[in-house]
Amino acid sequence: MRLKKDKKYTFKDLLDIMAHLRGPNGCIWDKEQTSKSIKRNLIEEAYEAVEAIERDDSESFREELGDILLQIIFHAQIASEEKKFNMNEIINLLAHKLIRRHPHVFGELKLKSSKEILRNWEKIKEKEKEKKKRVGKSSKLSETYTKLPALQYAHQLQVRAARVGFDWDKKEDLIPKLKEEILELEKSLREKSKDLVDELGDLLFTVVNIARRYRIDSEDVLRKSSKKFNDRFDIIKKLSKEQGRQLEELSLDEKEVLWQKAKKILESKKGENL
């Protein structure tokens, strides 16, 4: 199999390429892999795609989606070799699921809003879980959520609860709740209570809830704040080096001066890019 620069490769070509890579005359490394050995790649490629979205970089996004697709094809090929399932079964299962979970599009059900659609989606999923239990297949949905990063896990739990009406009536009501959690945390700190971990967790959970109600992704927010901190920190290290001093040698007040300079430098760069 040789690269043909002018050829427009298809999905079937991709499957054939992966089968060849895993075949007798394929790649030693690819043939050594198992679904477990490459499982983290799924997460890493997904995060790289998210970063491309955040940068509004369509060229990188296109490439990262291809990398995610590669992981899916890789896993499907391994499963096919192990006689577990193949790509056609994955596609067929997905098609059935999409049609089944959209009765307002492919059936007679009438739904008027996204809120109603999501609520009905949750009902369908619950029925699917019950059916799996009846045939001896326990649902792993809750366990799957626990594998998510903590912020996303909290967000998903809150979304599911909200879909069945277990939510705050007004999003503004969460602000007093936040203040309450902060007071409880302060009390725990003063009293050196063993509840400190729980209070911190409750505070974070409430912050995620606020973000959700204001339609802000808490994972994105924290990622952006972390990047902002990292950019500023890199600058103050550079500024201290220009002064011929190590950052750890500076007093807290001196570090604060550099921190403010770093903020201004980044704000000016941001203005230049507008």
Q: Using one digit for the tens of pLDDT, what is the confidence trace for 148-190?
A: 788 888 998 998 888 888 899 999 999 999 999 999 999 999 9
> Which residues does 74 contact at the CB level (< 8 Å), separation at least 6?
18, 30, 33, 38
Q: Of all residues in the chain, what percent carry a pLDDT higher than 90?
A: 71
Rounded Cα distance, 164 and 158, in Å: 10
Which range of residues forms the domain containing residue 262? 219-273
Contact 20, 36 (CB under 8 A): no
| Per-residue pLDDT at 5 | 79
Q: Where are the alpha helices (DSSP H) in 82-217?
A: 87-100, 103-106, 114-134, 141-146, 150-163, 174-190, 196-213
Together in a domain, 26 and 89: yes
* pTM for this model (two decimals): 0.60
pLDDT of residue 274: 55
Q: Per-residue pLDDT tens for 216-274? A: 989 889 988 999 999 999 999 999 999 999 999 999 999 999 999 999 999 988 777 65
For residue 238, being part of any structural domain is answered with yes
Residues 230 and 195 in one domain: no
Q: Is the pLDDT of residue 137 over 60?
A: no
Same domain, 199 and 251: no
Domains in the chain: how many in total? Answer: 3
Q: How far, in Å, CA of 133 to CA of 136, rounded?
A: 5
- Among 58, 61, 38, 59, which Cα is nearest to 49's? 61
Distance CA 258, CA 241 (A): 11
Does residue 136 belong to any structural domain of this protein? no
Q: Residues 113, 165: one domain?
A: no
Query: Do 205 and 151 meet the contact criterion of CB atoms below 8 Å apart?
Result: no
Is residue 135 situated within a structural domain?
no
> Are 236 and 259 within 8 A, CB to CB?
yes
8-state DSSP, 5: T
Q: What is the CATH number of the domain that holds 111?
A: 1.10.287.1080
d(CA 50, CA 46): 6
Give the count of alpha carbons within 13 A of 66, CB side only: 10
Tokens (6 digits) for 237: 């290290």
Rounded distance between C-alpha atoms, residue 35 and residue 78, angstroms: 7
Three-state DSSP at 195 gives coil
| Mean pLDDT value of segment 44-52 | 89
In a domain, 66, yes or no: yes
Which DSSP category does 33 fall into? -
Q: At what angle do helices 58-81 and 39-54 cross, to 10 degrees?
A: 160
Q: What does R_g of the chain's alpha carbons equal in angstroms?
A: 25
Report residue 243 as tokens: 């002064």
Q: Which of 173, 191, 216 is the last residue of a domain?
A: 216
Q: What is the pLDDT of residue 140?
A: 43
